[in-house]
Amino acid sequence: MSSVLEQRGDFFLEYFVMDGGSTDKTVEVIKKFEQRIKDGKYGKNINFYWQSKKDNGQSDAINQGLKKSTGDIIAYMNSDDSYVDGIFQEVVSAFEKNDKKNWLTGYCNIIDADDKPIRSIIANYKNFWLRHYSFSRLLILNFVSQPATFWKSSVVKKFGLFDENLHYTMDYDYWLRIGKNNDPIILKQSVCNFRIHGQSKGETAFKKQFAQDFQVATAHSTSDWLTFLHKIHNFFIICVYKILK
């Protein structure tokens, strides 16, 4: 939470924490930050809202937050991840310079439970394809990192919310929906840190994730050739993940 609240710049921050009814110390931590916000520790330009109640999964929780949002630029982040210092102002400035674009994405570091960089090969591989973005390439592999991606509120009005039937690749589905009409701004710098640990989805269910990834790509593609390339690429990446594990 601190990586969000400590962002500084010429913007107003609207921050929603959507907790699925945790029974650990999550609520205690949220209340601690809530009091710090009330005490002015993070400045005055913050609207903070939180809830802790059972939801119907991650996509439902994200959608609940999107429905409450009133800001011009939107993003979501999982509790394990964090933003790079000062990146919100970089995002705001990038949108101001590229006012015809409706979404933005950048580089994402991969870290472990101790904040140490890991899997640099994967991060560099995704960054390479990101620098050579095209919608066709996005249909072959998902090189857009979820926590490094921001979009305008107009995107939600036009394309709707996340698909709540998807539990692993709702973000990839969303990038494909909005990417058909508008290429993103590519921010060629680190935007966030994506954490991998023993209980994270990327560690425990990567096979299911790639199966759903292929399902999503197939639904959006009109090319059998691109679908075939996606299947081959998934096979290659799964082999790499098995080696890394």
* 64-121 pLDDT, tens digit each: 999 999 999 999 999 899 999 999 999 999 999 999 999 999 999 999 999 999 999 9
Pairing assessment for the beta strands 103-111 and 185-195 based on DSSP bridges = parallel
Residue type, 103: W
Pairing mode, if any, of strands 82-83 and 185-195? antiparallel
pLDDT of residue 96: 97
Q: Tokens 């299947």 appear where?
A: 231
Residue matched to tokens 């101001």? 96
Would you place residue 242 in the very low, low, confident or very high pLDDT band (cuts 50, 70, 90)? confident
From the list 109, 128, 126, the residue with the least C-alpha distance to 117 is: 109
The domains located in the chain, with CATH, are 1-54 (no CATH), 75-244 (3.90.550.10)
83 CB-near residues (< 8 Å, 6+ apart): 3, 4, 7, 77, 147, 191, 192, 193
pLDDT one-digit tens code per residue, 135-150: 999 999 999 999 999 9
Q: What is the reported pLDDT for 226?
A: 97
Rounded Cα distance, 91 and 186, in Å: 10
Q: What is the mean pLDDT of residues 172-186?
A: 96
Are 159 and 199 in contact by the 8 Å Cβ rule? The answer is no
Tell me the sheet residues that pair with 190: 107
